[in-house]
Structure 1
């Protein structure tokens, strides 16, 4: 017999899961968050749930917001259970469920008037977002792209915004006009300098229609940088059934994640913030070292194993790490090419950090999938892999392993695994990448013509030569043999 999750059934859910120590109905919103996906509910929402459980800061609850069709599905499912979420934390030695309640509402999806009204409310002091790496309208070099059609549309009609950034600007303008202190804008996405990137996009969009307002935003709005970390797979029938079977809870959209979590932030919140340092958030003067470490070693590691695993018909991440060639490939790549160019991090051993990452990737309970890691490569490669390539090229160092990662990505986009099984793409640029990958079988340079992805890297003859050799070897020898040649220093 399962318990249908809701406020009225919390006492029943408490038989198998931890429930809030606070009364969710007595919370009030202080944060509007765009992108109420799994990662947000397993990360930012968990830290707030922990804080609320101490009895503190109950005026900092989350009000969700969204503009995409997937946001509507999330709103419908969470509203049906009073915006509660069951989070299942899984370690090798234990599995535990907790019902979280830091979210009090999700605004009508895509309703600009309702969203702007919420953003203009003086009670809202932080606007945060997890909108994925591809949601910031930036190019391969990390610069704001003012020519994107969605940006152009918002610039032409700033009073009828359709992007997250247009809505944020409309909310800030309403606050300015009413002489209400501006909220802090806090990115929770895996982008180097995510606060700077967010500021550049917000101010860049404002400048297209109102340069004076753009200057006001730059001078008055805080955009703290942050580093966020928790491996959080997508939710499917498997997770919903596991929760019902093992914990007796019927949740429309539960979240399964690893036990580990980390959040490092700059303390730049002029309008105030919740006391998150009480529940493990690190506030530091400079996030950049932590952020670079995580993006290069963890996210870069995910990107490195995704495509050889997909080409070898491996579905789960832990199974990829159990494959001796893939695990050895990742270790060699990290230790020889990635870690050596990661700057020092305060009180942190990069070698120990990699060992932690390896253990996390090996966790079989997470059920993280290779298709999740392989999706959206056109946005992830320029942020997680190619920056390491750029840095090594600038230092005159070899990029044999990093070029192989790029070649594996190209080979993946040819559309079939080594065994001939079709590959399903999940990438906004899939069609053109697929066509270029097929052409690259005979002309490797055909895949490197996407400036928005490869940027200046494609202009390096050394990279082009390494990429071409790796790709030709993959087609001739197959993935497993190519990995072995790399491990033998024979590639």
Structure 2
């Protein structure tokens, strides 16, 4: 008679105590916590980011555990419910570290468990609703909500059975108002400029379609703080699952992974209490836009610089690019000498420490961040990542020669891809391909052709100082082959 196949042991409250000593586990009694947060969109980023911050503060304030709600798929619920909401976070560095996160106490799938979701939203113990649903999930228009969006139209026709995030938020608030329960604060954690303001406008517009009195109550009583989040979170894959389960000695159906660095900045605008976020390292600030600008200029602009110049050097990843001495030195000088002076003073923000942290992130060999992917959509990214800084530097009388090098690098990248017949990923792909094929390497003619892209360069195309500096940078890159690019980057005298 064959021996029975042993049951697979899963990560759970019952197996926590048996985990290896090197694995960090919740530093509190999970059973003593209560749910104070409903989160819509418990994908990898939320579980690697906000849920970890909450995990850090539950030992001192157990009233803020999370009910995680998926708006569409049951995958997260089906993976985590048998694990009592537990999952593993792998921190990717020189040496991978594992941590079991316990802040999610309940996992629901909204289409299949509507009453349970509504009960949580109406629960007086829930005082905060957070979201990571990507920009697309908000169904936004330019100044509110897209009333013609199929999900919004369906919710307006049947508001008691919502499907969209906006519909769920408003229905939960309607229930609380009707029962005399104080509203929850609504906190968007998506990378969306003015995320709280835009979500507030969308919620109010939607609510006005249903009930002017409810909309007035929301406008007067509900807070929608802005926020900024940052941490590179690669997708979970089978290799991660196998690696984590082998180290744990039990199976984890859906671990997540991220770089060690993480940042969360939140506007301190809460109406019905809030978690002690500052105890977990969250920065509370009234100037979210300032932090957004710092991230855009000190993280995203150097990323684009590495993408275009690193690609011309025939490199594949950010970490590889940072091992190229001439490129690493160039990027560091660009950040410290050209970008930092463009930033406003922010309370609690140390630009030099931020630069050091970003450079360390760029060098992390465990994060395989492809330059080719960062190079996508250059026509949309360059205006906000680099050209705004250049315009401000011109107005302030600061030098722009070094800032023009990555812009010229983008032009050379476009030229190279077009002549090699490699498709560009860009909204202007067809126009850029034609432009790139027509380039001859002449700095006057080629730069003049690129500057005709009004949607990219705008008024800068008519600024003589910019045109001169851009031509000079383009000329220094020459044939844009690795030798010429390396020489241009090493020529510090040429980029002063």
TM range, smaller chain: 0.7 to 0.9
Distance 1:319 1:196, change over 3 A: same
1:36 and 2:39 aligned: no
CA distance in 2 between counterparts of 1:77 and 1:466 reads: 58
CA distance in 1 between counterparts of 2:98 and 2:170 reads: 38
CA contact (8 A) 2:187 2:225 kept: yes
Given candidates 20, 25, 48, the residue that maps to 1:19 is 25
Q: Secondary structure in 1 aligned to 2:83? A: coil
CA contact (8 A) 2:259 2:367 kept: yes
Distance 1:100 1:373, change over 3 A: farther
Show the 5 A alignment for 1:50-449.
50-52=56-58, 54=59, 56-67=60-71, 72-92=74-94, 94-110=95-111, 113-114=114-115, 115-132=117-134, 144=143, 150=149, 154=152, 157-158=155-156, 159=159, 161-206=162-207, 213-248=214-249, 250-309=251-310, 314-346=315-347, 348-370=349-371, 373=374, 384-385=385-386, 387-388=388-389, 391-392=392-393, 405=406, 432-441=427-436, 442=438, 444=450, 449=455
Cα deviation for residue 126 of structure 1 reads 0.7
CA contact (8 A) 2:145 2:201 kept: no
Cα deviation for residue 74 of structure 1 reads 3.4
CA distance in 2 between counterparts of 1:149 and 1:131 reads: 19
Distance 1:271 1:135, change over 3 A: same
Bigger Rg over Cα:
2
Structure 1 residues 374-383 or 301-310, which shifts more? 374-383
CA distance in 2 between counterparts of 1:217 and 1:467 reads: 52
CA distance in 2 between counterparts of 1:389 and 1:112 reads: 52
Instruction: Flag structure 2 segments of 5+ consecutive residues without an equivalent.
Output: 1-5, 439-448
CA contact (8 A) 2:476 2:488 kept: no
Given candidates 49, 55, 71, the residue that maps to 1:49 is 55
Cα deviation for residue 18 of structure 1 reads 1.7
CA contact (8 A) 1:3 1:250 kept: yes
Distance 1:404 1:138, change over 3 A: farther
CA distance in 2 between counterparts of 1:236 and 1:378 reads: 32
Q: Count residues with an aligned counterpart.
A: 470
Query: Could you report, residue by residue, the CA deviation over 1:297-356 in whole angstroms, capped at 9, with x for unpaired residues?
Result: 124333442344456554433222112343234224323442211112335442332122
Instruction: Flag structure 1 segments of 5+ consecutive residues without an equivalent.
Output: none
Query: Could you report, residue by residue, the CA deviation over 1:284-304 in whole angstroms, capped at 9, with x for unpaired residues?
Result: 454444443234312433344
CA distance in 1 between counterparts of 2:81 and 2:478 reads: 50
Cα deviation for residue 273 of structure 1 reads 1.7
Cα deviation for residue 101 of structure 1 reads 1.3
1:7 maps to which residue?
13
Structure 1 residues 173-182 or 97-106, which shifts more? 173-182
Q: Secondary structure in 2 aligned to 1:250? A: coil
The alignment's TM-score, normalised by the length of structure 2, stands at: 0.77
CA contact (8 A) 1:191 1:383 kept: no
2:480 maps to which residue?
477
Distance 1:283 1:490, change over 3 A: closer
Distance 1:15 1:406, change over 3 A: same
Q: Secondary structure in 1 aligned to 2:273? A: coil
Query: Could you report, residue by residue, the CA deviation over 1:391-431 in whole angstroms, capped at 9, with x for unpaired residues?
Result: 4466576766656656666777899599x596796xxxx5x
CA distance in 2 between counterparts of 1:245 and 1:293 reads: 40
Q: Secondary structure in 1 aligned to 2:62? A: coil
Q: CA RMSD in A?
A: 4.2
Query: Could you report, residue by residue, the CA deviation over 1:423-449 in whole angstroms, capped at 9, with x for unpaired residues?
Result: 796xxxx5x443343234246368654
CA distance in 1 between counterparts of 2:402 and 2:207 reads: 41
CA distance in 2 between counterparts of 1:389 and 1:312 reads: 24
Q: Which has the higher contact order (CA 8 A, sep 6+)?
A: 1
Cα deviation for residue 131 of structure 1 reads 3.1
Distance 1:237 1:437, change over 3 A: farther
Distance 1:309 1:105, change over 3 A: farther
CA distance in 2 between counterparts of 1:145 and 1:397 reads: 39
Cα deviation for residue 127 of structure 1 reads 1.0
CA distance in 1 between counterparts of 2:143 and 2:332 reads: 34
Structure 1 residues 41-50 or 238-247, which shifts more? 238-247
Cα deviation for residue 6 of structure 1 reads 2.8
Query: Could you report, residue by residue, the CA deviation over 1:49-82 in whole angstroms, capped at 9, with x for unpaired residues?
Result: 1222x2x3333111222335xx544343333433
Structure 1 residues 58-67 or 227-236, which shifts more? 227-236
CA contact (8 A) 1:437 1:446 kept: no
CA contact (8 A) 2:20 2:248 kept: no
The alignment's TM-score, normalised by the length of structure 1, stands at: 0.77
CA distance in 2 between counterparts of 1:381 and 1:116 reads: 43
